[in-house]
């Protein structure tokens, strides 16, 4: 409680979103104690409330990965320099961001070791040893790990030099099976992000210039932040036989001839934490999706000193009931802090549901639940508390999703020309559909002139554009453009 009592004003210190969204973001994550800057450039400390969000993300995704036949493993942090040379696009894509270990235990290394920015090469090397026959396939392994990309501009959670993620790497007999895996994982990401983090996303395929370095096809889910910018919330790649050829992942097929395996990879990272903050937060602070909130319910006993012991006693009983039902609940019964101050504090921290209980509530066998997202107050019977709390948590989730979806619809545009795109990006901000001829030059022009990049080619764009917004030629694709984090 000490940090809070030092500064009872800090809720009002959060910069309003409308004034400066980036400052709002930094204010909120610092004040809500999710992270701190570290002494190492671009690396943050994930503090307990920030890290716990990641733990809940991990639990649920891990469950879904295992349910679909994947197993976890752990591969080395270090990747020999020569590995990066084996896949041409891969080295070009990642080389500019690699940190290098050149000395160890007082001696210069013969070969420099990169800190992994991703592990396709290491998995490729090992898979080539493990896979001999079609009977060894598929191999479906996931890894939870830290990775490092020495980024020039960093932003806590969204782009840090070191971050946490999972990377799935699979190898298959056929293209069809590998593509099915690629899509299955993209679907799992979409379902998870929408139904667990309450973030609606747009599924689609990356354009060649935006795909993963070394992939044949990259697919993504794209989410809209409250400043209209996009975050790529998850990606799934079909690698074809590129890495199999580079690392000689060959197997004897059913006809007893050697073939290259088809591989995939897919990942989400701690940038999901940044995303859910930017999608749901408001001027009062965080709004955390109930399914990943470290504290789902904060219980605040209220009333004068003379009834205090009785109220706190009853609060503790109800606390145990909620906890036994698997609800993540905390009690703040600090007598030195006014309830009103606590209300602000836990709103700022994004706790989905507040439970108030006072002496009159005690007499009536009720208490009051307050929704963080709508502010709605509901008097509920203590006898039904578990169900009432679960119902309100579910309502909060649903309302968060609906609002995020409405916000995205309100900031979703469609343009025909580059000038319209410029106006769209500068005045309205948001996601903007446009036709594209397929040439990298036109895509690059959009980027240079408007700051927007192609996010993906949506599977369900809603409408079909017929002309390229830059050159006016026939459009090959209807593309989603946005400025992005």
Among 105, 306, 340, 441, binds its own copies (CB under 8 A): 105
In whole angstroms, how close is the CB of 178 to its own copies at the nearest point? 19
Which uninterrupted H or E stretch holds 234? strand 230-240
**Which position has the token pair 């943050």?**
44
Q: Tell me how far apart the alpha carbons of residues 445 and 471 are, in angstroms, rounded to a whole number.
A: 10
Does position 335 interact with its own copies (CB under 8 A)? The reply is no
- Could you check whether the bond before residue 138 is cis, i.e. omega within 30 degrees of 0? yes
Q: Tell me how far apart the alpha carbons of residues 245 and 268 are, in angstroms, rounded to a whole number.
A: 26
Between 54 and 485, name the residue whose CB sits nearer to its own copies.
54
Q: Is residue 216 within 8 Å of residue 187, measured between CB atoms?
A: no
- Strands annotated E in 305-446: 329-331, 353-357, 366-371, 377-381, 412-414, 431-436
Q: Tell me how far apart the alpha carbons of residues 237 and 216 are, in angstroms, rounded to a whole number.
A: 7
Torsion over CA: 166, 82, 153, 412 (sign): negative
Between 54 and 266, name the residue whose CB sits nearer to its own copies.
54
**9-48 binders of its own copies (CB under 8 A):** 36, 38-40, 43-48
For residue 219, what are the β-bridge partners?
205, 236
Window contacting its own copies (CB under 8 A); options: 77-85, 206-214, 218-226, 271-279 = 77-85
Between 48 and 313, name the residue whose CB sits nearer to its own copies.
48
Q: Tell me how far apart the alpha carbons of residues 201 and 420 are, in angstroms, rounded to a whole number.
A: 24
**42-61 binders of its own copies (CB under 8 A):** 43-48, 50-52, 54-55
Does position 326 interact with its own copies (CB under 8 A)? The reply is no
Does position 115 interact with its own copies (CB under 8 A)? The reply is yes
Closest of 105, 113, 29, 107 to residue 78, by C-alpha: 113
Does position 68 interact with its own copies (CB under 8 A)? The reply is no
**135-174 binders of its own copies (CB under 8 A):** 135-136, 141, 145-146, 148, 150, 152, 162, 164
Q: Is residue 280 within 8 Å of residue 311, measured between CB atoms?
A: no
Does position 256 interact with its own copies (CB under 8 A)? The reply is no
Window contacting its own copies (CB under 8 A); options: 134-142, 183-191, 374-382, 396-404 = 134-142
Among 11, 77, 368, 484, binds its own copies (CB under 8 A): 77
In whole angstroms, how close is the CB of 374 to its own copies at the nearest point? 30
In whole angstroms, how close is the CB of 131 to its own copies at the nearest point? 10
Does position 223 interact with its own copies (CB under 8 A)? The reply is no
| DSSP 8-state class, residue 453 | E
Does position 292 interact with its own copies (CB under 8 A)? The reply is no
In whole angstroms, how close is the CB of 44 to its own copies at the nearest point? 8
Max CA separation in the chain (angstroms): 85
In whole angstroms, how close is the CB of 135 to its own copies at the nearest point? 3
Report how many residues bind its own copies under the rule CB under 8 A. 60
In whole angstroms, how close is the CB of 32 to its own copies at the nearest point? 14
DSSP labels, 158-219: TB-SEEEEEEEEEEESSHHHHHHHHHHHHHHHHHHHHHTS----EEEE--GGGS-TT-SEEE
**Cβ contacts of 179 within 8 Å, gap of 6 or more:** 238
In whole angstroms, how close is the CB of 274 to its own copies at the nearest point? 15
Beta strands 353-357; 297-301: pairing state = parallel
Closest of 259, 208, 199, 285 to residue 234, by C-alpha: 199
In whole angstroms, how close is the CB of 126 to its own copies at the nearest point? 6
Does position 181 interact with its own copies (CB under 8 A)? The reply is no
Q: Tell me how far apart the alpha carbons of residues 255 and 370 are, in angstroms, rounded to a whole number.
A: 65
In whole angstroms, how close is the CB of 193 to its own copies at the nearest point? 21
| DSSP 8-state class, residue 317 | H
Does position 72 interact with its own copies (CB under 8 A)? The reply is yes
In whole angstroms, how close is the CB of 5 to its own copies at the nearest point? 8
Among 12, 23, 88, 101, binds its own copies (CB under 8 A): 101
Between 50 and 214, name the residue whose CB sits nearer to its own copies.
50
In whole angstroms, how close is the CB of 270 to its own copies at the nearest point? 9
Q: Is residue 249 within 8 Å of residue 243, measured between CB atoms?
A: yes
Between 342 and 483, name the residue whose CB sits nearer to its own copies.
342
- Strands annotated E in 307-376: 329-331, 353-357, 366-371
Among 104, 310, 325, 383, binds its own copies (CB under 8 A): 104
List interacting residues with its own copies (CB under 8 A). Answer: 1-3, 5, 36, 38-40, 43-48, 50-52, 54-55, 71-80, 83, 96-106, 113, 115, 122, 125-126, 129-130, 132-133, 135-136, 141, 145-146, 148, 150, 152, 162, 164
């Amino acid at each position: 409680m000490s940090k809070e009592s030092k500064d009872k004003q800090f809720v009002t210190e959060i910069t309003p979103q409308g004034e400066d969204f980036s400052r709002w973001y930094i204010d909120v994550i610092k004040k809500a104690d999710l992270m701190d800057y570290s002494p190492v450039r671009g690396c943050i400390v994930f503090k307990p409330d920030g890290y716990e969000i990641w733990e809940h993300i991990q639990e649920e995704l891990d469950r879904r990965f295992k349910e679909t036949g994947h197993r976890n493993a752990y591969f080395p942090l270090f990747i020999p320099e020569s590995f990066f040379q084996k896949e041409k696009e891969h080295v070009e894509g990642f080389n500019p961001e690699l940190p290098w270990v050149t000395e160890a235990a007082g001696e210069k290394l013969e070969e420099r070791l990169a800190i992994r920015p991703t592990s396709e090469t290491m998995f490729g090397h090992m898979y080539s040893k493990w896979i001999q026959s079609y009977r060894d396939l598929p191999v479906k392994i996931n890894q939870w790990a830290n990775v490092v990309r020495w980024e020039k501009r960093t932003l806590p959670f969204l782009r840090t030099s070191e971050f946490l993620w999972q990377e799935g790497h699979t190898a298959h007999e056929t293209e069809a099976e590998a593509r099915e895996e690629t899509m299955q994982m993209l679907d799992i990401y979409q379902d998870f992000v929408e139904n667990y983090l309450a973030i609606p996303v747009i599924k689609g395929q990356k354009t060649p210039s935006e795909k993963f370095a070394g992939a044949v096809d990259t697919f993504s889910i794209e989410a809209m932040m409250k400043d209209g910018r996009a975050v790529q919330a998850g990606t799934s790649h079909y690698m074809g036989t590129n890495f199999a050829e580079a690392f000689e992942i060959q197997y004897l097929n059913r006809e007893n001839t050697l073939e290259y395996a088809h591989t995939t990879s897919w990942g989400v990272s701690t940038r999901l934490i940044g995303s859910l903050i930017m999608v749901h937060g408001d001027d009062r602070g965080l709004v955390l999706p109930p399914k990943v909130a470290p504290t789902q319910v904060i219980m605040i006993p209220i009333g004068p000193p003379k009834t205090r012991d009785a109220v706190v006693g009853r609060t503790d009983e109800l606390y145990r009931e909620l906890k036994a039902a698997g609800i993540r609940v905390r009690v703040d019964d600090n007598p030195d802090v006014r309830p009103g101050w606590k209300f602000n504090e836990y709103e700022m921290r994004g706790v989905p549901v507040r439970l108030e209980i006072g002496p009159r509530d005690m007499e009536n066998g009720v208490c009051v639940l307050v929704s963080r997202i709508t502010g709605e107050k509901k008097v509920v019977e203590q006898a039904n508390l578990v169900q009432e709390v679960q119902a309100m948590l579910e309502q909060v989730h649903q309302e968060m999703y609906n609002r995020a979806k409405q916000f995205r619809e309100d900031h979703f545009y469609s343009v025909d020309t580059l000038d319209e795109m410029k106006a769209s990006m500068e005045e309205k901000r948001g996601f903007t559909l446009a036709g594209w001829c397929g040439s990298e030059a036109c895509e690059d022009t959009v980027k240079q002139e408007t700051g927007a990049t192609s996010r993906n080619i949506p599977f369900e764009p809603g409408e079909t554009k017929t002309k390229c917004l830059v050159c006016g030629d026939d459009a090959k694709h209807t593309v989603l453009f946005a400025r992005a984090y």
